Amino acid sequence: MRGKLVVGNWKMNGGLAANAALLSAIAAGWNAPTGRELAVCVPYPYLAQAQAALSETRVAWGAQDVSEHEAGAYTGEVSARMLVEFGCRYAIVGHSERRQYFGDTDAIVAAKARAALATGITPIACVGETLAEREQGVTEAVVLRQIDAVVAAAGADIARLVVAYEPVWAIGTGRTASPAEAQVVHATLRARLTSAGGQSVPLLYGGSVKADNAAALFAMTDIDGGLIGGASLKAGEFLAIARA
């Protein structure tokens, strides 16, 4: 059976004092039902804080990106091996904000996923179409192109991936894909993953998930959990989503 997973993406938010309160409230409120996992992906400078706060709890942590390079003259980059030293279980790769503002192409995202896998970190590979692409009717072509790049890079490690479908028009906008709209794309992704041997890969939905819409989304056949941005910054809301 595929595991259920909810992951918080703090984006570029946080501060030492606020993080301490948030991490301890999340850890205290999560009783980790069987087959369900909760994780937070924090900015790099807070990884040590997340590691200290969560290592004795049932909440996992990770980073929001990772370098495709192993080591060397790559100023500003953070390698997968460094993330391992801070106990990261996950690294998000290919978030639409990285693709949009930082030039992450499908090839770069694939290389980042490979770099994470090589050190035992689970990449959470994000795919999703823009509003213009949806309106042009090319949603399926876009997400398949994006997932194919990551699947090819994963090779025999495909079962160690997590994939998140995040329609770009739903991220941080308050506009969510309806459960039926999300399910259509998830079914397409599921079929592609299954044909490549990745039938057990958890497939998350992300884009303005809140406590009041999570249950309906997570009830869909091919949705195994969520990647949560804004709502992961409030412990009560994040835990309510995780319990959904």
User: Which residues of the chain form contacts with ligand PEP (CB under 6 A)?
Assistant: 9, 11, 166, 171-172, 206-209, 227-231
Whether residue 166 lies in the annotated active site: yes
For 25, residues 6+ apart whose C-beta sits below 8 A from its C-beta are 235, 236
Q: Amino acid identity of 54?
A: L
Whether residue 95 lies in the annotated active site: yes
Q: In the bound complex, which residue of the shown chain has the CB atom lying closest to ligand PEP?
A: 229
CA dihedral 15, 20, 23, 27 (to 10 degrees): 180
Least gap, CB of 239 to ligand PEP (angstroms): 15
Strands (E) across the chain are located at 4-9, 36-41, 59-63, 90-93, 122-127, 162-165, 203-206, 225-228
Least gap, CB of 124 to ligand PEP (angstroms): 9
Closer CB to ligand PEP, residue 127 or residue 154? 127
Cα separation, 225 vs 50, in Å, equals: 22
Two structure tokens written together for 98 = 């990285």
Catalytic residue among 37, 97, 133, 166: 166
Least gap, CB of 225 to ligand PEP (angstroms): 12
Active-site amino acid positions: 95, 166
